[in-house]
Chains A and B, each alone.
Chain A
Amino acid sequence: MTDIIRLTAAQTAEKIASGELTAVEVTEAHLARIEAVDEKVHAFLHVDREGALAQARAVDAKRAAGEPLGPLAGVPLAMKDIFTTEGVPTTVGSKILEGWLPPYDSTVTKRLKAADVVILGKTNMDEFAMGSSTENSAYGPTGNPWDLTRIPGGSGGGSAAALASYQAPLALGTDTGGSIRQPAAVTGTVGVKPTYGGVSRYGMVAFSSSLDQGGPCARTVLDAALLHEAIGGHDPMDSTSIDAPVPPVVEAARSGDVRGMRIGVVKELGGEGYQAGVVQRFEESVEVLRGLGAEVVEISCPSFVYALAAYYLIAPSECSSNLARFDAMRYGMRVGDDGTRSAEDVTALTREAGFGAEVKRRIILGTYALSSGYYDAYYGSAQKVRTLITRDFEKAFESVDVLVSPTTPTTAFPLGERVDDPLAMYLVDLCTIPVNLAGNAAMSLPCGLAPEDGLPVGLQIIAPALKDDRLYRVGAAVEAAFVKKWGHPLLEEAPQL
């Protein structure tokens, strides 16, 4: 059993295809693991045991019938609870959607089902993906498998923790300001935010429409690439989805050759305020890349310093509008409907009871920023900053193929440390946010443990829009070099649960 859960997704699929393992065996092993450890980790909000086993049986039947199997057939996956799943609870980590059974599957859900991926269940997250620690979940926090008293990152802490605790070899996340990459960094896993429009947003509950992007989470670069390929590509149901083939990510992940590539170190993302161990591991990664034959230069992106401010105007503005639909009329929670109150009162009471503090804070911020008389100063200026950041990237990519930085300024901090200090919490996403504002692609992958606390550090790789394959090429090279250096994948150093 232990062996099965420690396999990569690629290995698992291979063993199922060859008949060495059945999909049901694989699924049962993971369900048993969840049973054994998730009480401690709390990665899952809902485990769909029956659905997962049914899907696994279907894969085994397909194989028995001699039908061709896809590259991820029978591989279990933990899905962030932000993607709709027909008939399976989808809460977005919020009380306001408690008990809601969506009548439809998200495009990503559909594609995973079509690819015969086994969906184990739905993972914990900060409410409506607003947060960097999963502590804003209405259903309680998730622990970091490296140290259960520390944050697993957020908003997709459940997905990252599920990977790091071997409850699933694949997971799905969404990244609005770093919600895939930052959890990956602090849990020693791999997370990719694809180019905006690279993965359909249809059926992904919206936080900030112009920033949200679904993407793959895994324990290896190749597994992430396989998942990326399965969920990516044009979707006519999402107008902002890019009508172009998925970049050749799997091929890039298998190649891992960075000789002659030009790599830019972003001057503004690092230095003062960054944890010493994070800086040290980052610098080592840059040396590794140089050693692999890449050319490394320093690049300045002067507008990045305004990214956080712009983000905290744009994201709340969009969320104030996106979350208006939770009005107790058609679905979800309804409070105070005793036959005497008006619809308006019921809406107000429901939103008061159903939304958590951080969600309310952002709705209020956004409502204010969009108000007439303030729009130009806030939303308008933020959009201008966004343009400047995009130009910084464009200019940088004229001279380099990818940019690199630490994914986060620090390693995982203790649960509770920043819950009462929203600004300190927002700073966690300093390095990841510029990418969302510009809409290009980025990956976080483990680059070692910080010497001072023994916790994972993430390396962020940033590629131009539609060049997601470069992330995998560089990521695979770094990963191979480190595994060789360490003698094993980083996660093997995590404590046994």
Chain B
Amino acid sequence: MTVTDLLSYEDALASFDPVMGLEVHVELGTRTKMFCGCSTELGAEPNSQTCPTCLGLPGSLPVVNAVGVESAIKIGLALNCEIAEWCRFARKNYFYPDMPKNFQTSQYDEPIAYNGYLDVQLEDGEVFRVQIERAHMEEDTGKSTHVGGATGRIHGASHSLLDYNRAGIPLIEIVTKPIEGAGERAPEVARAYVAELRELIKALGVSEARMEMGQMRCDVNLSLRPHGRSTFGTRSETKNVNSLRSVERAARFEIQRHAAVLTSGGTIVQETRHFHEEDGSTTSGRIKEEAEDYRYFPEPDLVPVAPAREWVEELRGGLPELPRLRRKRLQEEWGIADHEMQSVLNAGALDLILATMAEGADAASARKWWMGELARHANETGAELSAVPITPAQVARVAALVAAGDLNDKLARQVIEGVLAGEGEPDQVVDKRGLKVVSDDSALGAAVDDAIAANAAIAGKIRGGNLAAAGALIGAVMKATRGQADAKRVRELVLEKLGVQG
């Protein structure tokens, strides 16, 4: 890896304002491709999901996938965009072997959706409005695998393999207007924007938007300008940044790199850059000395898309509750403070909590387990919360056992530990580890007697009316029963045996 000079983040922000543009590609979850009837299922044998159209065979023609258009309109509406009354596809012409026709069917100056915004909430609850330039429809390319080189890149490869299963899968490209005024929070805004967009796409049900599967990919365009300057600086385009964390890191790295170049009197080269997960750096890709000439022109093989206004309104009426509003409503329903809700979101626990509630748990206990024990486990293992090996149904079962008095919190934690260790369902762990709360009087009675006998002085205080002293005896019983005693029943027995009214 080449060493890149960086300025400290603080010094960079002391002199410059970052300006960002984010381009996000979302693969739609349509059953068939954008312009033919081939399946979009992932993981099939290479080139098994192809036909004359997506292979670009001579004579083949495209036909627009109506679900693709509908999904694009839904995304546009959810992003508060205007929806074009009439728009066309355009051909973006360039040669690349994984693009069967050597042009990409896309949209150029007539996108289906334009002029919108998305409000995103930062970690401290501040809401930042990101303006949306456009959302347009296009098709994905095939996939090249470069064989024989050291890096997997084309350089040094002996040959390449082409898989056209992905060619023609519908994509929506969502482009922001320049994001200005975020200052030092720019990387955070970038991350929050992509996160919010992902939530939105998922809520709309148009894509699973799984970044790790490449279903959602982000390009981060970034430039710096000295404070007080209104013209934008030269930008770099960091391509295919494919996780939320990476989006933030890439923006941060580029701010520091640009600042280092600019303060040392250098100039930023307009280029694409590759992002490296390992160390969060970017390296130079292809230099764009001149704007590439894609020779766009309206796609003559497709008729214009003219969504009827009534249809658009029908789609608007059918939009699901949008994530930010849903979060607001849940916060109110749960009666929790802003910072508590924010930590739920930051931990990625919202959907897990809701799923646990759907399995019968109440909101408070679902939140308690996910944000407590399980969040801690995720932190310790460095995993996403959703990747912790326990299901919402299992968490709900633990909560139910606690609610029924079969487990106390301490035991419940042990049950969860058992589930995480792969010991089976919560009930199996309870059985195997013998973790039931002991509330049986005959079993507890002896332990209480022992505790009274061993702590005569404390027992005397209690008899004298100092009820607070009972805690020490309860503690002794709990210790003796290795935490399995029902604390409430122990207290009752202690008081009863000492002849005191609780």
Please report A residues at the B interface, Cβ cutoff 8 Å: 83-84, 90, 92, 97, 100, 102-104, 106, 201-206, 208-210, 236-240, 317-318, 320-321, 324-327, 329-331, 343-344, 347, 367, 370-372, 375, 379
B128 interface hit (Cβ, 8 Å): no
Q: Produce 1/0 per residue, B470-502, CB < 8 A to A.
A: 000000000000000000000000000000000
- Say yes or no for B14: interface residue by CB 8 A criterion: no
Main secondary structure of the interface of B (DSSP, over half): loop
B55 within 8 A of A: yes
Q: A239-B303, A330-B100 given as contacts; is B293 within 8 A of A205 (CB)?
A: no
Whether A327 lies near B102 (C-beta < 8 A) is yes
With the chains together, A205 CA to B52 CA distance in Å? 12
B300 near A210 with CB under 8 A, answer yes
A331 with B57, Cβ < 8 A, contacts A324-B101, A375-B297 known: yes
Q: Do A240 and B57 touch (CB < 8 A)?
A: no
Complex interface bits, B51-74 against A, C-beta within 8 A gives 1, otherwise 0: 010011111111110000000000
B434 interfacial contact with A, CB 8 Å: no
From 217 to 268 in chain B, residues with beta carbon under 8 angstroms from any chain A beta carbon are none
Asked if B91 is an interface residue, CB under 8 A from chain A, the answer is yes
Instruction: Give the residues in chain B near A205, CB-CB below 8 Å.
Output: 58-59
Contact of B64 among A102, A239, A327 (CB under 8 A): A239
Find A379's partner among B55, B97, B297 (CB 8 Å cutoff).
B297
Contact A102/B297 with A236-B63, A343-B97 known, Cβ cut-off 8 Å? no
Residues of B within 8 A of A100 (CB): 58
User: Measured between C-beta atoms, what is the minimum distance from B128 to chain A in Å?
Assistant: 34
Q: Known contacts A210-B300, A324-B103, A327-B97; is A367 also within 8 Å of B59 by CB?
A: no
In the complex, are the beta carbons of A106 and B59 less than 8 A apart? yes
Question: A230: shortest Cβ distance to chain B, in Å?
Answer: 19
Q: A321-B91, A325-B58, A344-B95 are in contact. Are A240 and B297 (CB under 8 A)?
A: no
Q: Which of B62, B63, B162, B297 contacts A317 (CB 8 A)?
A: B297
* A to B CB contacts below 8 Å, 12 in the list: A84-B59, A103-B57, A205-B58, A239-B302, A321-B91, A325-B101, A330-B57, A343-B97, A370-B297, A372-B291, A372-B295, A375-B295
Give the residue of B64, B93, B302 whose beta carbon is less than 8 angstroms from that of A321.
Answer: B93
Residues of B within 8 A of A237 (CB): 61, 63
Which single residue of chain B is at the shortest CB-CB distance from A327?
B102
Q: Cβ of B295 and Cβ of A104 under 8 Å apart? A: no
Indicate whether B160 reaches chain A with its CB closer than 8 angstroms. yes
Complex Cα spacing A325 to B56, Å: 7
**A residues near B102, Cβ cutoff 8 Å:** 324-325, 327
CA distance A203 to B60 in the complex (A): 5
Q: Is B301 at the interface (CB under 8 A from chain A)?
A: yes
Contact of B103 among A321, A329, A372 (CB under 8 A): A321
User: Are A330 and B93 in contact, with the CB atoms below 8 A?
Assistant: no
Cα distance A324–B61 when bound, in Å? Answer: 15
A178 to B60 CA separation, bound complex (whole angstroms): 23
Q: Is the interface of A mostly helix, strand, loop or mixed?
A: loop
User: Considering residues B52, B59, B60, B95, which has the most beta carbons from chain A within 10 angstroms of its beta carbon?
Assistant: B59
With known contacts A239-B64, A239-B303, A372-B293, A325–B93 Cβ distance under 8 A: no
Contact status of A318 and B55, CB under 8 A, knowing A202-B60, A237-B63, A343-B160: no
Q: Which residue of B lies closest to A208 (CB)?
A: B300
With A321-B91, A324-B93 in contact, is A240–B301 under 8 Å at CB?
yes
Chain B residues lying within 8 Å of A102, measured Cβ to Cβ, are 57-59
Chain B residue nearest to A235 (CB atoms) is: B61
With a cutoff of 8 Å between Cβ atoms, the chain A residues found around residue B293 in the complex are 371-372
Q: Are A92 and B58 in touch, CB under 8 angstroms? A: yes
Give the most central of A320, A325, A344, A372: most B CB within 10 Å: A325
Residues of B within 8 A of A84 (CB): 57-59
Taken residue by residue from 28 to 62, chain B's Cβ proximity to chain A (1 for < 8 Å, 0 otherwise) reads as: 00000000000000000000000010011111111
A370 pairs with B59, CB closer than 8 A:
no
Look across to chain B and name the residue whose beta carbon is closest to the beta carbon of A370: B295
CB distance from B305 to the nearest CB of A (A): 10
Residue among A100, A106, A329 facing the most chain B CB atoms (10 A cut-off)? A329
Task: Report B-chain residues with C-beta under 8 Å of the C-beta of A324.
Answer: 93, 95, 101-103
B-side contacts of A344, CB under 8 Å: 95
**10 pairs of A and B residues whose beta carbons are closest in the complex:** A324-B102, A370-B295, A209-B300, A210-B300, A203-B59, A205-B58, A84-B59, A325-B56, A205-B59, A325-B101
Residues in chain B near residue A236, CB distance under 8 A = 63
CB distance A90 to B58 under 8 Å? yes
| Residue of chain A at shortest CB distance from B89 | A239
Chain B residues 282 to 296 lying within 8 A of chain A, measured CB to CB, are 291, 293, 295-296
Q: How far is the CA of A204 from the CA of B291 in the complex (A)?
A: 35
How near does chain A come to B472, taking the closest CB pair, in angstroms?
81
A372 to B291, CA, bound (A): 10
Q: Residue of B at shortest CB range from A109?
A: B59
User: Which one of B100, B103, B301 contacts A239 once the chains associate, using CB atoms below 8 Å?
Assistant: B301
A239 to B302, CA, bound (A): 6
Contacts of A238 in B (CB 8 A): 61, 63
Which residues on A sit within 8 Å (CB–CB) of B100?
325, 330
CB-based nearest A residue for B292 = A372
Residues of A near B300 (CB, < 8 A) are: 208-210, 240, 318
Chain B 150-170 interface residues, beta-carbon cutoff 8 Å to A: 160, 162
Which residues of A have CB within 8 Å of B160?
343
A104 contacts B95, C-beta separation under 8 Å? no
Instruction: From known contacts A210-B300, A370-B93, infer whether A239 and B61 are also in contact, taking CB-CB under 8 Å.
Output: yes
Q: How far is the CA of A347 from the CA of B102 in the complex (A)?
A: 11
Q: Bound complex: CA of A84 vs CA of B291, how far in Å?
A: 38
What residue in chain B is nearest A203 (Cβ atoms)? B59
Which residues of B are found within 8 Å of A331, using beta-carbon distances?
57-58
Distance (whole angstroms) from the CB of A49 to the closest CB of chain B: 24
Identify 7 new A-B residue pairs, CB closer than 8 A, beyond the known A206-B59, A209-B300, A330-B55. A202-B61, A236-B63, A240-B301, A325-B100, A327-B95, A327-B102, A329-B97
